[in-house]
Amino acid sequence: MKALIFDVDGTLADTEDAHRKAFNDAFVEFKLGWVWDSDLYKKLLKVTGGKQRIRFFLENHDPDFLQRADIDDLILSLHQTKTKYFIARLENGQVPLRPGIEDLIHEARAMGLTIAIATTTTPVNVRTLLTVNLGKDSLDWFACIGDGGVVPVLKPEPDVYNWVLDKLGLRPEEALALEDSRNGLISCVRASVPCLVVTNDYTADQDFSGCLAQWPNYEDVTVAKLEALCATIKL
């Protein structure tokens, strides 16, 4: 195990409720009358990427709305507004890292492990989450940050993991990915990267067949435990 590749949403932090509320804030600003509650949002998480998620919602709840001539521009503006509200929540300190994540990052760095990021989220979201919670320097701790802007196709496709591995100059089996969702796991499986799934309230009942292991939290997770897990791959 030479590198840890961290997913962001649901892995570094439980961000999804802040994303959900930011979508709702944007819907209010645009006077659309749409409200995404937690049960609906759980279903909408089937699709990664905020713009794609809005389109998926409309396909299922208001297909006629998609016929508007300005639909592409509208989704773009809505998503920019959603990002503005999401960033405000991050900057207000409303989205802390998951317990155990900061210690794991520090331990990995101290042991000389490479750390990187593979996510589908908007670039400014990752940068703000890291700088608010770990300080400005933390952006340099990661050998590379694969975000939703680096490849055209998001998870569950493997592109972002392939991009990160290419940047790191590593083979998939030299890395361990940390994910929280089925889409993240499938992306890893397609890129042949071993994947530990650490679930959260939004993802705990998803199907994680194909993962190396499924754990409930990061509270007792150490580099030694991750190395022991990777060692089981050879058995």
Q: Write out the residues near ligand XBP by the rule CB under 6 A.
A: 7-10, 19, 48-50, 119-122, 125, 148, 155, 181, 183-184
Which of 158, 184 has the CB closer to Mg ion? 184
Closest CA to 123 of 74, 168, 86: 86
**Binding partner of residue 19 among ligand XBP, Mg ion, none, CB cut-off 5 to 8 Å per kind:** ligand XBP
147 binds Mg ion (CB under 5 A): no
Q: Per the residue annotation, which of 9, 147, 159, 180 is the catalytic one? A: 9
Task: Please count the CA atoms within 13 angstroms of the CA of 191 that sit on its side-chain side.
Answer: 32
| 197 touches 77 (CB < 8 A) | no
DSSP letter, residue 9: B
| 7 touches 177 (CB < 8 A) | yes
How many Å apart are CA 167 and CA 161, to the nearest integer? 10
**Binding partner of residue 50 among Mg ion, ligand XBP, none, CB cut-off 5 to 8 Å per kind:** ligand XBP
At 85, is the secondary structure helix, strand, or coil? helix
DSSP string, 94-139: --PBPTTHHHHHHHHHHTT-EEEEE--S-HHHHHHHHHHHH-GGGG
DSSP letter, residue 152: S
Which of 100, 123 has the CB closer to ligand XBP? 123
Question: In angstroms, what is the minimal distance from the CB of 25 to ligand XBP?
Answer: 13
| 105 touches 223 (CB < 8 A) | no
**Binding partner of residue 183 among ligand XBP, Mg ion, none, CB cut-off 5 to 8 Å per kind:** ligand XBP
**Binding partner of residue 199 among Mg ion, ligand XBP, none, CB cut-off 5 to 8 Å per kind:** none
Q: Is 147 a catalytic residue?
A: no
Which of 24, 181 has the CB closer to ligand XBP? 181
Q: Is 17 a catalytic residue?
A: no
- Contact with Mg ion (CB under 5 A) among 5, 9, 95, 128: 9
Question: In angstroms, what is the minimal distance from the CB of 19 to ligand XBP?
Answer: 5
Strands 175-179 and 213-215: unpaired
180 binds Mg ion (CB under 5 A): yes
Which of 61, 111 has the CB closer to ligand XBP? 61
Which of 159, 180 has the CB closer to Mg ion? 180
How many Å apart are CA 171 and CA 161, to the nearest integer? 11
**Binding partner of residue 125 among Mg ion, ligand XBP, none, CB cut-off 5 to 8 Å per kind:** ligand XBP
Q: Which residues bind Mg ion (CB under 5 A)?
A: 7, 9-10, 180-181, 184
**Catalytic residue positions, numbered:** 7, 9
